[in-house]
Amino acid sequence: MGHAPFSLPKGRLEEGFEDKRPRYSDGEAVTEANRCIYCVDAPCINACPTSIDIPTFIHKIATGNVKGAARTIFDANLLGQSCARVCPVEVLCVGDCVYNHWGREPIQIGRLQRYATERALELDRDLIKKNKRATKSGKKVACIGSGPASLAAAGYLSLMGHEAVVFEKRAVPGGLNTTGIAPYKMDAQGSVDELNWILELGDIEVRTGVEITASDDGDGQVSAATLLQDFDAVFVGIGLGADSALELPDEAGAGVYGAVELIEQLKLDPQASLQGVTRAVVVGGGNTAIDIAHELAILGVPEVYMAYRRGFERLSAYDHEIEWGRTDGVRVRVNAVPTGYQRNPDGSLKGIVLADAEDGKAKAGTDKLMECQLVAVAIGQARLTGLAKVFAGVELDAKGRIVVDDATCRTGHAQVFAGGDCVNGGKEVVNAVEHGKRAARAMDAMFSK
Ligand SMILES: Cc1cc2nc3c(=O)[nH]c(=O)nc-3n(C[C@H](O)[C@H](O)[C@H](O)COP(=O)(O)OP(=O)(O)OC[C@H]3O[C@@H](n4cnc5c(N)ncnc54)[C@H](O)[C@@H]3O)c2cc1C
Ligand code: SF4
């Protein structure tokens, strides 16, 4: 099953973004690695959702064994390249490094991981493929969605001698790793490069523009029932659905976007432009809100506000992301709640009406128009519940998340596994990778019986 590499259109806005945390040089990496004291029961390992053996890979860097370091990382996390760049390490491994307790700079684990994975693949691109299981099982798995969860599942399945076909409804593969990650952390090309490397492991096919549906086998569609017939197992890695709206009058129309939809346009559409936008308002207080606000500020929008209905202490975005955004000009307005929009006679956006808020609720008589040309609504994403329900035995919890066994990611249907955002409700890339890995190992065990 050979595969031509995927590519992206040129002329995307994000191509001009500077790499904010460039890769270490050999000397910088060895110096940083030598600071690690290789803790026993290392807290950094426990803080990593994929349990990478961090002290071991750092020790290998310190001793000049870059390929060995990368092997240690990829054994636990096949998407170690993108995770090195997009993981919120400040609240995971780096946040738990023992150096923090001594008031000293923690070990820069993410940057060391980026150095090890990228440098090792420059030295030997087939580093991991070489260890692929020689005997083919003849088993075939369908992965629905091509985000980090499915790619991890497909990649580990390939290494264990099985075949995977990944179905992606979008034209571009990679899930949110391609369409959603803030470009100052990693641009879409970084995601596609990693995906192309995973495809080189062999026995993986990615079919883009194919949606798995509840019932139809129409044009560009394959039904869930067909998958169950044609494959030995199915992995559901469909992520989350469309952006939630504020549901206020005049919301639909020019200038008002769902945040994830806007991020995707800015990253991938060569026609995307912010010309004429002098003020933008982002509604929400989470990580997606700060990401789009920060991105708009870096792209040159002169005034970017985040409007959040509660106080600073309730912002759910990571502190380090807020601080980073503020240094690039993002202004945060707390206790401000949207109550409506105003439009010009030609339908263009005049602004958003914000009221002062108390306990998240608008105070009567405090409405005030904030003129702006762009609003991005970042208040969450819907759950994609329709597909999961058609597999007999697959259950959803009260929040619309697919219920799985934690150790195996198996659903209530013996042939169906699931992982990533559709299971955890929306976490990080690294959590999705861990689910894909657990499911692949459980399927391998099932196939060997
Ligand atoms: C704006 C934004 C920024 C983020 N930034 C970070 C970050 O900096 N660091 C980090 O670690 N995490 C970040 N995340 C979270 C991270 O991107 C997700 O946790 C991760 O991508 C989830 O992976 P997944 O494979 O479960 O789903 P996704 O990445 O969402 O992939 C699911 C894929 O399934 C496809 N699909 C859905 N339904 C079907 C169907 N029926 N048939 C075929 N295909 C289908 C979708 O088109 C999509 O490509 C961010 C999320 C967002 C929204
Ligand atoms: S906690 Fe810090 S010092 Fe200890 S092993 Fe992990 S990275 Fe090294």
| Token pair for 262 | 């806007």
**Residues whose CB is less than 8 angstroms from the CB of residue 443 and which lie 6 or more positions away in sequence, other chains included:** 139, 141, 153, 157, 162, 233, 235, 417
Mean pLDDT, all residues of the chain? 96
Q: Which protein residues are within 6 Å of ligand 2, measured from CB?
A: 36-39, 42-44, 54-55, 58, 97-99, 107, 109
Report yes or no: 268 and 8 within 8 Å, Cβ to Cβ.
Answer: yes
Taking only Cα atoms into account, the Rg of the chain, rounded to an integer number of angstroms, comes to 23
Tell me the DSSP string of 279-317. Answer: EEEEE-SSHHHHHHHHHHHHTT-SEEEEE-SS-GGG--S
Q: How far apart are CA 418 and CA 401, in angstroms?
A: 10
C-alpha pair distances (Å), 80 with each of 4, 72, 400, 419:
22, 10, 29, 18
pLDDT for the residue numbered 437: 98
CA of 215 to the centre of ligand 2 (A): 51
For ligand 2, atom 3, name the residue with the nearest CA.
36
- Which of 83, 256, 71, 239 lies closest to 159 in space, CA to CA? 71
Q: How many CB atoms lie within 10 A of CB 230?
A: 12
pLDDT at 1 over 70: no
177 lines ligand 1 (CB under 6 A): yes
CA 191 to CA 144: how far, in whole Å? Answer: 18
Parallel, antiparallel or unpaired: strands 416-418 and 336-343 = unpaired
| Domains assigned to the chain | 21-123 (1.10.1060.10), 135-241+382-447 (3.50.50.60), 256-377 (3.50.50.60)
Cα(45) to ligand 1 centroid in Å equals 24
Residue range 29-47, pLDDT digits in tens = 999 999 999 999 999 999 9
Residues 6+ positions from 4 with CB-CB distance below 8 Å: none
Our answer on whether the CB atom of 110 is closer than 6 Å to any ligand 1 atom is no
Which two structure tokens, joined as six digits, stand for 188? 């879409």
Count of residues making up the chain: 449
Structure confidence by residue, pLDDT tens digits, 76-135: 999 999 999 999 999 999 999 999 999 999 999 999 999 999 999 999 999 999 999 989
Cα–Cα dist 286/293, whole Å: 11
Residue to substitute in 206, 290, 306, 428 for testing ligand 1 pocket (most ligand atoms within 8 angstroms of CB): 428
pLDDT digits (tens, 9 = 90+) for 304-332: 999 999 999 999 999 999 999 999 999 99
Q: What is the DSSP letter of 24?
A: P
